[in-house]
Structures are given as C-alpha cells and as structure tokens.
A and B are shown apart, each in its own frame.
Chain A
Amino acid sequence: MSAPALVESSVVERVLESALSRGGDFAEVFVEDRSTSSAMLDQRKVEELSSGRDRGAGIRVVVGETTGFAHTANLSEKGLLAAAQAAAAVAREGGGGVREIALSTLRDYPTTAAIEPGDVDKAKKIELLLHADDVARSEGSAITQVQVGLGDSTRRFLVANSEGVFASDHQVRTRFNVICVALGDTGMQTGYRPVAGTRGFEILTNEAVEEAARGAARQAITKLDARPAPSGDLPVVLAGGSGGILFHEACGHGLEADAVLKDASVYAGKVGELVASPLVTLVDDGTVRGEWGYLAIDDEGRPSARNVLIKDGVLTDYMWDYLRSQKEGRASSGNGRRQSYQHLPMVRMTNTYLLEGTSDADEIVAQTPYGVYVAQLGGGQVNTATGDFVFGMTSAFLIEDGKITTPLRDCNLIGNGPDILKKVDAVATDFSMTPGTCGKDGQSVPVGTGQATMRLTGVTIGGTAA
C-alpha cells in the first residue's frame, strides 16, 4: 500500500518551473518526511524515550558551475515557491523565460521493512532492551555497566527534477547497540556490538540481540587483561567485517568523484592503473538489500547500483552523483546522498566492501609469526588529498608464533591509502559486513563496510609499548 504523495505532482511541477524562472540549467525538489524514535536503557533504567519528526523540502538550482540551495519546513505551495525563488537567486543574470516541466508517473519504491517501527508496541521495545542487559550481565560479574540503545527511523522522500526524474522511496532503518563496561584491577574497559539494517523491527530477533549483548560483554571482559599495544610498523591481520572501514577510509573517500574532479584525491587520473594488490577487488554496492547502506534509489532519484571501483588491483571507476557525472558527460552511479532535506546531495558511499579471496582465515593467522590481530575496528578518518588515514582498534590482540595471544589496549592504526592497498597479501573467505556512520562535510549518512579476514604486510600501530 502506498502512502499519499508528500506533495502533489502539479505543485512539484510549478515549483520546478519557478526554480528555473531566472534561467537555471537544472532544478530539483527533494521533499522528506522523517520520523525517528529512540530508547536508551542505562543501568537497567529506561532513561527516556524520544520521538522526532522532521519534514521539509530542499530545492536546488544549478546554473553553470554554481548551485543555489534553499530549504523550508513549509510544504505548502507558497512555502515551496518561496524556497524555489531563494535557491534561484544564484541565477543572477535572470531572464530564463518559462520552461515547462511535465513530470511523468511517480516511481514509488517500496520499503524493505517487514515490521514498521511505528507499529511496534513501545513496551515490546523496552522488553528487548532489558533482555540484552540480562544477557550481558550473565557473562560475568566484571560487567559493571550495560547500556543498550534502540533507534529507528522511517524516511519517506520524494525527489523530482527538471530532467523528468520523479520518484519516491520509503526507507526504514533499525539500529540496536550494546555497550558494556567491565571493571578489573587495571581499570575499566568497554565492549561494543551493533545490530543494524535497512529493515524494520524484524531484524531484532532474540538471537541477534543476545549475540550482540554477549559479544559486547565478552569484548569488555577480554580487554581487562589488555596490555599496551606495540608501537611501530607491524603485520596486521584484520578479522572479517569491521575491517572494511579501512577500505572505506583508505580509498573509498578518494574515489568519490567530487574529490577526484577537483584533483583533490590521490586517485585522480589513475583509472586503468594498478593501485592495489591484485588480491583487491573493491565494490560499492547500494543494492545489497537490507544492509545498513542499502538504497533502492539515491537521494537524487537514481536507482542504486553495484559499482566495481578496483578490480584485481586495477582502478576501474569512481563514484558519481548527478552534478559530477554531468560534468563528465556520463551517468550517475547512484551515489548522490544527503543527510536530510536541509542538505545538498554529494557523492557518498553506500555499502563498500572488498570481495572475498581464497585463503583460509585461520591459516592466515597461523602463517603470521608476529603481528597484530584486529578483531574490531572503530571509526576512522582520511585526508583524501594525501591519502593519509587513521582509525581506532577497539578489539585487538598480539599474534605470536602464528597464534592469537594477548589482548591489546585501544589505540589507533595509521597509514596511507595507496600504500596500504599494495600491502594486502592474503584475503580469506569469511566475508561479513558491519554498519557504520560516515561523516563528510558535516553530513552523516548510514553506510555498510565489509571484507573477509585479510593480512596487511605492515601498518603503523600507535601504541605505547616499545
């Protein structure tokens, strides 16, 4: 069943016409209605349930190299027309004449959610939070604090532009996380596990919730025995899943066409060149149904796609949004995303992952005499112009004589994208993905990252031990 359109098509047409009345080349209306809810359990107390609603429209007008943008929370025709005029103010020369916009039938994309968050009884959500708390505490008396969060968002949007795109999507995302604090002789350590998907409440099965709770608790307890991480250049084995963030940071951002076209990326002008180990095939794929970075269409109305960025070590393509693809006279790759109607779209990743290889995960460890095994990576960041990146190890161990041994205290890894890509010398078959939030120019969007267990011949570990 489809909900009523956020704004009538005849109104959208008039708004687009108004946006182009001063002579713009391109106009777009993006109307969004987002409902969110969150609940947090801290030390077995439901702190506060919060519900939010954000509704409005962002209008952009492109004139030559210039983009004008305005947004409004007023979805009446009057409000939209005012925003259209504000956005059109960049078309300074004026006198574009009247361009008639006729939109075709709306292409409506259905949600991937089986159970809409809004249909779930709040009491049921709280039961789940308490259950996770019980499971986490049952892992051991060292667990002194448990924090469980549940958030969901239902985002309906409609996007129309002067080139005839007229589409709407209904994105439902659900996210659950458990943070545990364990207390030992050497102080406090934390553990963290998320469960998230572009899905409804159905992903929060008892099993999924229990696994997250146990995982977070065990991670915190294990780290109580952690000793300071080594300092310097060492071989690193990244466990399948969260290590994908390395590729998101190390090269994903540098393959976004906005950075490339400004020659602000180390990967600019390198299509067709060998930029990575032949074991590396990197894909950005918005079509992985239900994954955290899944999109039916991007925020410019373009269907998402599976885009191969690096194939067997050779750079094959960048990621594109409307604006950047126009400049190159090619099609968008479905990577135009924005945080909300209050933001302009730009090139963003969706689900970015390294295809699995042929090695055995255990063998990779066994064949590493000395190094660091990273079970979980935290956040990271990159300078696209230099390729330098850094990210946090939130669960790591020493590898000694081919065996995973002592847990290490939290610290950062640092490296350079082009460098690290060449240092991949083994990729296993145990592929998995992890949800994350990617921030760029002040906008946050949900992304997925993934890889199988793999080894890097040398990465700088920012520990304190000699």
Chain B
Amino acid sequence: MSELLEQALQILERAKGDEHIEVYVSSGTDTEVQAYQGEIEKLSTASSSGIGIRVLTNTPTGARVGSAWVGSLDENAIAETLEQARDNVRFASEDEFIAFATPDGVSSVPMELRTDEVATTPLDDKISWAIELERLVRSGDTRIRQVDSANYSDYDVAAAVASTNGVRATYARSGAHISVEAIASDGKSDQTGWGLSVARSPRDLDLAKASAEAIRRSTRRLGATKPASMKCTVVFDPRSAATLFSVLGSALSGESVVRGRSFFADRVGEEVAMAGFTLLDDPTDARHFAASQFDGEGLACRRNVLIENGVLKGFVYDTVAGRRAGTVSTGSAVRGGISGSPTAGCRALQAVPGEYSQKELLAKVGNGLYVESMSGVHSGVNPISGDFSVGVNGLMIRDGELAEPVREITVASTLQRMLLDILYVGSDVEWLPGASAGQSLAIANIAVSGT
C-alpha cells in the first residue's frame, strides 16, 4: 500500500460516531528552469505535500459537509485540520443530495502515467535543454530579436483518496514540459509566438518542434494588419480548438447543468452540433496528458461520450451532481488540489478526428480566417448564455492557403451556433497540456470584427 494511502487511512480511523470522513492527500516534487541569454535565469526545485479533509454527517433529511485543508503532512497540522472541517460541518445547510462517493464496482483502466525519469534525469540535463531551446530559437531565424523566456519544467506527483465509505484510490503521474516565447521583428513592429512540447518523460520532449513552432508562429505574423469587419468561415488551429472544447466542457459539466447554468440543459437527445461531430471526455486514453485512473473522489475514470454524431448524449457527473440529476457519478469528479472540493468536470476531452489534414481542410474552406491564438476567453465566453467573443491573431485563408497575417480582431458568435456551423473536423490531433486535445476545426458564419 502506498504511504499516502496509509496516511489517509490513519485519519479515517479517527471518525467519531456516525461521522464520515474523506481524505485527499498529495505529495510531489517539481523543477523549473528558465534560461535567458545562454544562462540559467531561474532554477527552482521544490517538494510540497498537503491534505484536504471533508467531514460529513447525516441528518434526518440529508447530510451536511464541511472541509478544511493544510499544505503540510505534519501530525499537528492534520489534527487541527480535521477539527476545522468538523467545525465547518455545523454551519452547512442540510441537503438531501450531499453524499460521498461509494465504490461503484467499475474497475480502473491500467495505465502507466508515471516514469522514474523525471527523478533520475540529472538536473544538468534539464538545465541544458532550457538553454538549448533558447539557442535554437535565437539562431533559427534572423528576424527573432528576443526570446524572453525559454522554460523547462517537470513534476512527479502522487495522491491518494480514501473515505469511510470504502473508497481507496492512489494515483501517480509525471510530466515534463518545455515552452518558449519568441519575439520576431521586421524593424517596424514586433510579433510573438509560443512553442511547446509536452511529455510524460523529460526524455521525450521535442526541442526541435517547440523551437520551430515559436519561430513559425512569431515570424509569420510579422506585418499583420487589422482587416475590415466581415462574416466568414474560421479555421481554429489545434490549440485554439482545444480551448474551445474546454469551454464546451464546462457547459457539459453535470454541475453546471443541474444548477441551470448551461445552455445544454434539457437538450439531451437533441441535435446540438454538426452531424459528424463527436466529443468525448476520456481520461482512460493514455495519450491524453490529463489521463487518470481515478477521479477526484477516488472512483475509476471512464470514457464518457458527450456529443455523438451531433447529438447531445449526456453530461459528466460527480457523486453529488449525479444525485441531483437523478443519476450516478460518471467518475468525473475533478478537484483543484488539496484546497478544492470535488466537482463535476471534464478532464480529458477530445473530438473524434475527421478525415482531412489541416492542408486539406484549408483547401476545402477556400477563403476565411485561420486563428492561431485566442485571448480573453475567460472574459468573453459565457457558458450559461453561450455568448462567444474572443480576441484572436491569425492569418487569412485565400484560395485554400494560409495568406497574410491579421491582428487585433475579435471573432464572435454563440457556442450554440458554432457547434451547428462546424464544417470540418481535422485529423491533425495534437495532445496538449490541459483538459483538452485539439485539432483543426472549421466553423462557418462567424462575425469577425476589425476596422
């Protein structure tokens, strides 16, 4: 048994009377290196651990729950945290739907999501990659005038969830990440572009890909102008599409739905998207960097189909949202580390790839706008009303090819319309950090605001 699980079980033994306890405990190490002008600018190494405790007491018409957390595994701190959680229970409202997860017999899909290589790779190698990444970008194109950060980072974490309801889950995950931002100049103005590479093991990072991406993205935006406002087909690149899928994911969370905060509410069975569009949340797909054996309540993660061939199939639920909706958890509890309580959320979204490569897809579209970065997503997209308006940078698409760069424009529509207006889903799936993978995605009838 893992040490963390053992620690969690010890806390469960302190349950008094009919109180229920759930413990989430995590521990990990991380390293960050930032290179600048051939030297290490920042080097940070740290290990951290902590615990989140929830206490639940049953009442005649439901239950109450309270929680507390601490960024330490120190015995006194844990004891104090348990007392805090107990005290907090007293003030919570009774709720018939409040409950902890109960083991549901679904077994987890075996996957190896951790490698020793994060720990065994010498720090000097990690440092040299950050420095090399910067060098590759600086020397890769004469128009690159600055690289303001070239980063290497990795993590190696383990966590456990256990409850007096019989939940026993442990997870371990590792990952490494490089990213670089290039500033290109044509003497008149500057443009920036990010390049990145992600892997479970530092040995699998691709410096050449990340540096080439930063160079390509920054240099091809040079000379960007602000076009006239228009309505056209927009092709989102894989990164932007992944952001779009994540936004859809928040509206597909059972938590949003049961609270009436999703435009998808009450539409299961309806055609909500183009007929060829299928969106899944599948943490059991090990290619996804967010893959996981267990969810935030310690239930096995599973493959959940959200939209299938354009038809809304369902939502993701944790235990409480599932109960509110009259159904059960889909193994989709997510929690924001030790301080966050579980809530229903998508963890590993992906759209089923279509038949066209990006090149083919652009040829099909003919004319339109290619979006390669979006900003203001947190302020400009409303998963309740579906309103969508974000700032973008990108290139025009002319005669099926990428053409001149454009900047300082917004694209706007509603998520409802955008789903129905999807024209093509690309085959060029990119596995990215975060809750969604992405591929090129063409959507018609989008309002582009420029001059």
Contacts and interface: CB of A to CB of B under 8 A. Distances in A.
Interface of A: 39, 42-56, 64-73, 86, 89-90, 122-123, 126, 144-145, 181, 187-190, 229, 231-233, 259, 262-264, 266, 342, 344, 378-381, 383, 385-386, 388-392, 394, 409-412, 414-416, 460-464
A66 B41 contact: yes
Contacts of B46: 69-72, 342
Contact of B410 (A378, A380, A414): A414
A462 B408 contact: no
Contact of A53 (B77, B376, B390, B411): B77
Chain A CB within 10 A, most for which of B87, B90, B390, B413: B390
Q: Number of contact residues on B: which range applies?
A: 35 or more
B70 A52 contact: yes
Name the prevailing secondary structure of the B interface residues: strand
Given A386-B192, A414-B409, A463-B449, A73 B71 contact: yes
Instruction: Specify the main secondary structure of chain A where it touches its partner.
Output: strand
A365 B259 CA distance: 39
23 contacts: A47-B93, A51-B88, A64-B39, A71-B46, A73-B48, A181-B261, A188-B384, A232-B229, A233-B451, A379-B378, A383-B192, A386-B407, A391-B379, A392-B389, A410-B380, A412-B412, A414-B409, A460-B409, A460-B410, A461-B410, A462-B410, A462-B449, A464-B412
Contacts of B192: 383, 385-386
B84 interface: yes
Contacts, number: 252
Nearest to A441: B149
B40 A90 contact: yes
B191 interface: yes
B309 interface: no
Interface of B: 36-37, 39-50, 54, 65-72, 74, 77, 80-81, 84-85, 87-88, 90-93, 95, 123, 145-146, 148, 183, 189-192, 226, 229, 259-261, 263, 339, 341, 375-376, 378-380, 382, 384-387, 389-391, 393, 407-414, 447-451
Nearest to B65: A48
Contact of A264 (B183, B341, B409): B183
B313 to A, nearest CB: 23
B88 A411 contact: no
Contact of B84 (A45, A51, A71): A51
B43 A144 contact: no
Contacts of A232: 229, 449-451
Given A43-B259, A69-B45, 9 more contacts: A51-B87, A71-B44, A122-B90, A123-B91, A187-B385, A231-B448, A385-B183, A388-B408, A412-B390
Contacts of B387: 409-411
A62 to B, nearest CB: 10
Contact of A385 (B84, B148, B339): B148
Nearest to A61: B43
Contact of A54 (B44, B70, B411): B70
Contact of A48 (B66, B191, B409): B66
Contacts of A390: 375-376, 379-380, 390-391, 410
A344 B449 contact: no
A71 to B, nearest CB: 5
Contacts of A262: 36, 146, 148
Contacts of A56: 48, 71-72
Nearest to A412: B380
Given A122-B91, A231-B449, A388-B408, A48 B341 contact: yes
A259 B407 contact: no
B189 A65 contact: no
A90 B43 contact: yes
A414 B376 contact: yes
A188 B450 contact: no
B41 A412 contact: no
Contacts of B191: 385-386
B67 A49 contact: yes
A464 B43 contact: no
A450 B81 CA distance: 38
Given A460-B408, A462-B410, A464-B412, A69 B44 contact: yes
B192 to A, nearest CB: 5
Contacts of A71: 44, 46, 48
Contacts of B65: 48
A259 B149 CA distance: 10
Nearest to A346: B42
A324 to B, nearest CB: 12
A394 B384 CA distance: 13
Leading 4 A-B pairs by shortest Cβ distance: A462-B410, A392-B379, A390-B391, A390-B376
